[in-house]
Structure 1
Amino acid sequence: MIELEQSRNQFPKEPIRLMSRVYKFILPGVRNELDGWRQEAGAIPDPELRRQALASIATKEFHCQGGSVYAAANLAQRDVLIPLIVAFQTISDYLDNLCDRSTSMDEHDFRLLHQSMLDAVNPCAQVRDYYALREESDDGGYLLHLVQTCRSNILKLPGYPAAKPYIVDLVQLYTDLQVYKHIAPNRREQALVRWWEQHKHRTPHLRWNEFAAATGSTLGVFMLFLAASNPDLDNDSAEIIQRSYFPHVCGLHIMLDYLIDQAEDEVGGDLNFCSYYENKETMLKRIALIVEGARRDIKRLPASSFHRMIIEGLLALYLSDPKVSEQREIRDVSRQLMRRSPLMRLFFFANSLWIRKQHL
């Protein structure tokens, strides 16, 4: 990975430097981008699409904040990376809301909606009417503008041709997951297991719910966006990055997300991958296994200390969420995962609490 060694010095090596960049450059940049998208979402003609677009920005801002941390590793390209990451994550969050609280249970509708994500990472693809299979369709050009924002910024990434096949692979897996997890509850588990059977050779040590969780993360895509900002990125390096993030770093991200959402998902009747474990002890053991896999995998990457901060930051971000204190069983699991926490994780824990407090 010689071609990535040149950019190693751009990566912040310790938590204080990383968070300094986050506070000074990343959070203001994300806020500025989301303010623009919030204004556009508020002008969507269809009331249901407008409601879901505004809700996705209001309740999932931290997804864009967390994803945009990757721009802290190449501040010279932050004016490309932050708009790209925010637009792509906003598509993801908006479509998740549309499918979660959908007036439809049609998997063809879900697949067409998520085709927008595949078109967003393929600047040469023909755009289409992503709402063609659903009743609500007049978004005033909101989704298309998000797609075009991704594409225009991708064209500014000199290393994108090398990263593209691995990004498309991850986005295709993400799209499949969103289709199968949102269909009728009596069909979704069978569909997800059948889908896992086609792909389990990639992650033979993971259970079906863990593989599915890994496909639900956008972190691998964001890391590849960052890598593509380097003109010297080659195919071998892009493949190593994908394998270093998928499945363990990506899987940890989404398993933590589901861990804290268990009570909420039970009330909403939403699928939750943490509910498929036999008991709390098994769940804790399996998540700990994924944490160790993530720590091992990122050692293959240059500037591995940056990626270690991403892992510890994920644990801190999710385990500091107010939802944890509201669920006794999750509180117990959180305490065990945080036991003997390295100072780095405690540092990010304190910063996560502070950032949340500022956005209340």
Structure 2
Amino acid sequence: MSKSAQARQVPRTPVTLMYRVYKYVLPEVRAELARLRVIAERIPDDELRVQALASMTSKQFHCEGGGIYAAGNLKRRHILVPLIVCLQTISDYLDNLCDRSTSLDPDDFRLLHQSMLDAVDPDAPLRDYYALRAERADGGYLHELVRTCQACVKQLPAYAHVRSYVSELVGLYGDLQVYKHIAKENREPALLSWWEKHRHAVPQLQWNEFAAATGSTLGMFMLFLTASDEGCTPADALRVRNAYFPHVCGLHIMLDYLIDQEEDRLGGDLNFCNYYENQSQLIERIGMIVERARKDVGSLPAPRFHRMVIEGLIALYLSDPKVSGQKDVELVSKRLMRRSPLTRLFFWGNSVLIRKRLYSN
């Protein structure tokens, strides 16, 4: 995959990117979610149905944000959009199930998340992912999500080159979901023990920052986009993996946790922004991750596209209505937005507009 070929595929300016998002990505993401909603509404088990529908309603913007990667190759968006939407929907659905679980069994959480590993393995057989929990009758909903992903990855011309890196990131994601949802007294010890196995690979990060990085799906989505190009090589795949993990992925989830601090406090949920001595250290660490992320994507073809993604992430999360009313978060937001580039301000305005359209429908 030559730099010139990749650069021709992806949008080079914020205006071009948002044109593609409004014209192609958002309508097709919402159409795929509508298809899935029809299936979810037929789920026999009440709890599974509630959580499936809730994940699509409250976390729709996750699919819309991930859909930006489909804007990088419009010719293959018919593969990328359903793949991104279905994998993100598995992630959001299982997160809801584990957050509100009647179980604290790590084996149950591990088996549920095996569905994500199977979804990115075109040869994997379907399994009974609910075998270790009381709620099991989903009417084939989770299998439909897995099958759709498998059918899509089979159509990506260079998937063989990215497959191992996608599976690596999905595996780390599953580990995180297991450790963060077990009994509260066991969460931090499990996460710290896990960190000890990986800290040598990311010595610049603290344990909570590494854990946050594993919670992002953006590296997976960028690898899908990379595999949509016939010219992708194994070296290209490795370059993308290293450019996105850990800093772009870490920024994504640290921002997510930043705006969810009050919500997580009330729900008793673990939040990775709570492991700093003060707000100044939090700002400093997120600022460091931003700069490392910008530097990392400089090695990729069309680096402007990836820098737009970074600025878009910052704008998307810091323009979220959850920010207002949380004084500490407002302070962090103002500090991070200080002297923002025009690109970030452009995406800020678009994030506000998209939310207004979303909640007015």
- TM-score class, shorter: over 0.9
Match of 1:243? Answer: 242
Following superposition, the deviation at residue 8 of structure 1 comes to 1.6
Instruction: Please list, as runs of the form range in 1=range in 2, the aligned pairs for 1:205-284 lying within 5 A after superposition.
Output: 205-284=204-283
Instruction: Please list, as runs of the form range in 1=range in 2, the aligned pairs for 1:338-357 lying within 5 A after superposition.
Output: 338-357=337-356
Instruction: Please list, as runs of the form range in 1=range in 2, the aligned pairs for 1:171-190 lying within 5 A after superposition.
Output: 171-190=170-189
- Equivalent AA in structure 1 for residue 52 of structure 2: A
Is contact 2:3–2:302 with CA below 8 Å preserved after alignment?
no
Is contact 2:243–2:297 with CA below 8 Å preserved after alignment?
yes
Match of 2:320? Answer: 321
- Equivalent AA in structure 2 for residue 123 of structure 1: P
- Equivalent AA in structure 1 for residue 77 of structure 2: R
Give the Cα separation in 2 of the matches to 1:256 and 1:318. 6
**Alignment partner of 1:7: what SS?**
helix
Question: CA-to-partner distance for each residue in 1:156-191, whole Å, 9 max, x for gaps?
Answer: 100000000110010000000000000001000000
Give the Cα separation in 2 of the matches to 1:201 and 1:146. 35
**Alignment partner of 1:346: what SS?**
helix
Match of 1:168? Answer: 167
Following superposition, the deviation at residue 106 of structure 1 comes to 0.2
Give the Cα separation in 2 of the matches to 1:350 and 1:3. 34
**Alignment partner of 2:155: what SS?**
coil
Is contact 1:4–1:233 with CA below 8 Å preserved after alignment?
no
**Alignment partner of 2:187: what SS?**
helix
Give the Cα separation in 2 of the matches to 1:236 and 1:73. 19
Query: RMSD of aligned C-alpha atoms?
Result: 0.7
Instruction: Please list, as runs of the form range in 1=range in 2, the aligned pairs for 1:12-23 lying within 5 A after superposition.
Output: 12-23=11-22
Give the Cα separation in 2 of the matches to 1:124 and 1:234. 22
Verify: 1:7 aligned to 2:6, yes or no: yes
Question: CA-to-partner distance for each residue in 1:206-229, whole Å, 9 max, x for gaps?
Answer: 000000000000000000000000
Following superposition, the deviation at residue 234 of structure 1 comes to 1.4
- Equivalent AA in structure 2 for residue 308 of structure 1: R
Match of 2:133? Answer: 134
Following superposition, the deviation at residue 105 of structure 1 comes to 0.3
Following superposition, the deviation at residue 4 of structure 1 comes to 5.0
Give the Cα separation in 2 of the matches to 1:204 and 1:314. 24
Is contact 1:277–1:283 with CA below 8 Å preserved after alignment?
yes
**Alignment partner of 2:121: what SS?**
coil
Q: Count matched residues.
A: 359
Between the aligned residues of both structures, percent identity stands at: 62
Report the TM-score, using the length of structure 1 for normalisation. 0.99
Report the TM-score, using the length of structure 2 for normalisation. 0.99
Is contact 1:4–1:232 with CA below 8 Å preserved after alignment?
no
Stretches of structure 2 that go unaligned for 5 or more consecutive residues are none
Match of 1:82? Answer: 81
Is contact 1:4–1:230 with CA below 8 Å preserved after alignment?
no
Match of 1:336? Answer: 335
Stretches of structure 1 that go unaligned for 5 or more consecutive residues are none
